[in-house]
Chains A and B, each alone.
Chain A
Amino acid sequence: MTNVLNQHNANQTLTLWGLGKSQSAVVTRIDTGLGEQITARLAEMGLADGRIVQCVRRGPLGGPMVLQLSGSVFAIEQDLASRIHISLQP
């Protein structure tokens, strides 16, 4: 029981970069420091609060991760992915 609770707490601080291959998650918060222009663009791509993202694969050599977002496939780098907060889907 405590284990589950801990996991739940851990999920609160999870970022997109922590998502493993084939895992899905819900976007909970996007770092406001990214600026309006980038946030707007991310929303257009399908990265906004409440949206579901799926990690298709982790990039080779620790490079950008590959995501499936509203029917398209995008690669994004670590700097950006670690500023997008998620919670794992039940």
Chain B
Amino acid sequence: MQRILMVGKPNCGKSLLFNQLTGLRQKVANYPGITVEVTRGKFDKFELVDLPGAYSLNGLTRDEVIAVEEIKRSLADEDTRVVLVVLDATRLAQSLILGLQVKQLAAAQGKPVMFALNFIDEVKRVGEHIDSEGLSNALGSPVMPLSARSLDGLHEFKHALLSMADWPNVHDNKQQPPVDYSDVAARSQALASEFGIQHDIVLKNQNRIDSFMLNNWTGGLIFIAVMFVLFQSIFTLAAPLMDGVEGFIEQAASGVGSLTQRGIFHDFVNDALFGGVGSFLVFVPQIMVLTLIIGLLEDSGYLARAALMCHRPLSFFGLSGRSFIPYLSGHACAIPAIMAARTIESPHKRLITMLTIPLMSCSARLPVYALLIAVLVPADGTFMGVFNLQGAAFFGLYFFGIIMALVISQVLNRFLPRDLEKTDMPFILELPSYRLPHWKPLFQRVLNSGLQFIRRAGPIIFVVSVGIWVLGYFPLNASLEDSWLGQIGHYIEPIFAPMGLDWRYGVAILMSFLAREVFVGALGTLFGMESADEDVAGLAERVQAEGLTPEAGLGLVLFYVVALQCVATVAMLKGESGSSKLAWGLYVAYGLLAYVIAVVVNQCLGFVFA
């Protein structure tokens, strides 16, 4: 299909314009190898391709470099009919940097360019006007003033874009002057001062809000409040949705189960498919809720301020202010978080961030935490009469993970060899205008986050679930203790004895080394309970009755904070760092560290209690 490319700087309103042109049907594609998020949709009879945002073809951060490669590749493609450059009318000089560079590159390829002058409603609101015809003459390409939000000028723009794509003014290739970016900075400045608007008016509002957001005191308080609301909503908003998914899977399982005869097939469908794969689908709502809140923070402009405020404190640990966003996402799932680390300017800091993201308590750890906290902490206990003790224990585990990540970052910063060939990029961050987020791009992002999680982690979880089921099911008609899995458990029991745990925990831990969320279900099966995933309280009583010592329980839960038990994360780390040795090395290192912590806690506390 013939294509229209869309490029622009970050925060130029590109995704909303894309949504307005294509409707809500779109596809986010990930290229194999180095993954770039390219969104595709249909606009009339053309394919509209939204390329990732970049400030300049002279890319600094990893995500920018990848975006630029993709822009260049797509520009050279034969099917590309028109290149649409989205400009931010309120920040013309910065938008025109990429605009002028792309214009030159497109001219060299013989591709026509159209400029969409977005946010024209904001220009009007401050009583300014932009001479788009004059700008169009100066640029040598049509400039269409519009607002993707208020829909001003959108009709005329669609019409002009279609007629340009239908009858592109095809240039003869190789006729154009060679590409030269040296005067781009000066030209964009000159054009902006001739056609742009008075900056002080537009920036006044932003600077006024920033005087609260970036103030030492109010800024800090707002930051803490935002984080508090964020974590609260991961639980409160996601909980009913997670129950809904759980209920749906149960219904489906009993529906399908009644169709099949008792036997191997029935057991396979019931336990391996619905039990194993189903328990993983429960995390999808939580990932979507976190994506929604992070999306709201990002689109409103707050996330850049949060990164700015965190830069200095995080620098102390060898991290960047931009590490804050991946760390935050890591509390839902490490996989999108490792992707998000691409925005970190320095390769060294980016690597440290990626290597410590797995210590953030992702949602797959939640059921494990929930079970062990129910075992260890009384449900009606309160701390100083106010805080629920179990809630405080949850918070403590999250906090422990973050502290571990910071400590390990500091250690890695000291000892990780620096790649001397790559210059360390400085921290430069644009502070965008504060804007009310629009629901359309947000909705897309939330939906895609769920789909991508299923697509990435699903196949691995499926294989692991089936493998575990086979080990636990055979030899036929044997009890679980006598199954292959049970035999392995008894064989490895001495390893787990120093942690104060018997063979059943050993088996459950071993099973969860590929995907930690199987721990609760596995332990339930080993304690002879059906559907432990749905009845955590029941399982907790059983575990208590069987006499798990508090020190062993604490050691076990800390083990789960530290251990990297997720094959999908290892695969992601391998892809992003380009080193299989590093990814599997980290897997082993965190496993050993978790083991040592669990053993030390169990032995020391056991000594104290005795």
Contacts and interface: CB of A to CB of B under 8 A. Distances in A.
A59 B308 contact: yes
A68 B93 contact: no
Given A41-B56, A41-B60, A46-B189, A76 B313 contact: no
A44 B189 CA distance: 9
A62 B426 CA distance: 16
Contacts of A38: 60, 423, 425-426
A90 interface: no
B312 A72 contact: no
Contacts of A75: 304, 308, 311, 427-431
Given A74-B428, A76-B428, A46 B214 contact: no
Interface centre among B94, B202, B321, B428 (most CB of A within 10 A): B428
Interface residues of A, number: 31
A56 interface: yes
A60 B189 contact: no
B185 A37 contact: no
Given A68-B203, A70-B192, A63 B311 contact: yes
Nearest to A81: B426
B68 to A, nearest CB: 12
B146 interface: no
Interface in B71-128: 90-94, 97
Interface string A23-54: 00000000000110110110111101000000
A57 B214 contact: yes
A19 B436 CA distance: 32
Contacts of A57: 207, 210-211, 214
Chain A residues touching B, majority SS: mixed
B220 interface: yes
Contacts of A73: 203, 206-207, 430-431
A59 B210 contact: no
A60 B216 CA distance: 5
Contact of A64 (B58, B60, B321): B321
B199 A44 contact: no
Nearest to B97: A44
Nearest to A70: B93
B196 interface: yes
Contacts of B321: 63-64
Given A60-B219, A60-B309, A63-B311, A70 B210 contact: no
A61 interface: yes
B387 to A, nearest CB: 28
Chain B residues touching A, majority SS: helix
Given A44-B56, A64-B429, A72-B94, A56 B196 contact: no
A80 B345 CA distance: 13
Interface residues of B, number: 44
A59 B214 contact: yes
A64 B427 contact: yes
B184 interface: yes
B583 to A, nearest CB: 29
B184 A44 contact: yes
Nearest to A33: B423
Contacts of A45: 94, 428
Contacts of B309: 59-61, 63
A73 B91 CA distance: 10
Nearest to B315: A77
B215 interface: yes
B274 to A, nearest CB: 50
Given A35-B423, A37-B58, A70-B93, A63 B207 contact: no
Interface string B222-258: 0000000000000000000000000000000000000
A77 B311 contact: yes
Contacts of A60: 214-216, 219-220, 308-309, 312
B559 interface: no
Contacts of B196: 71
Contacts of A79: 426-427
Given A44-B58, A57-B214, A66-B210, A80 B428 contact: yes
B590 to A, nearest CB: 30
A71 B431 contact: no
Nearest to A63: B312
B189 A70 contact: yes
A22 B431 CA distance: 17
A37 B59 CA distance: 8
B55 interface: yes
Nearest to A65: B308
Contacts of A62: 312
12 contacts: A37-B423, A38-B425, A41-B58, A57-B210, A59-B309, A64-B429, A70-B94, A71-B93, A75-B431, A77-B315, A79-B426, A80-B426
Interface of A: 34-35, 37-38, 40-41, 43-46, 48, 56-57, 59-64, 66, 68, 70-77, 79-80
Q: Which 8 pairs, one residue from A and one from B, show the smallest C-beta to C-beta distance? A: A63-B312, A80-B426, A71-B199, A77-B427, A70-B93, A73-B431, A75-B429, A72-B94
Given A66-B214, A74-B430, A79-B427, 15 more contacts: A37-B58, A45-B428, A46-B93, A56-B210, A59-B311, A60-B220, A64-B312, A68-B203, A70-B94, A70-B192, A71-B94, A73-B207, A75-B311, A76-B426, A77-B426
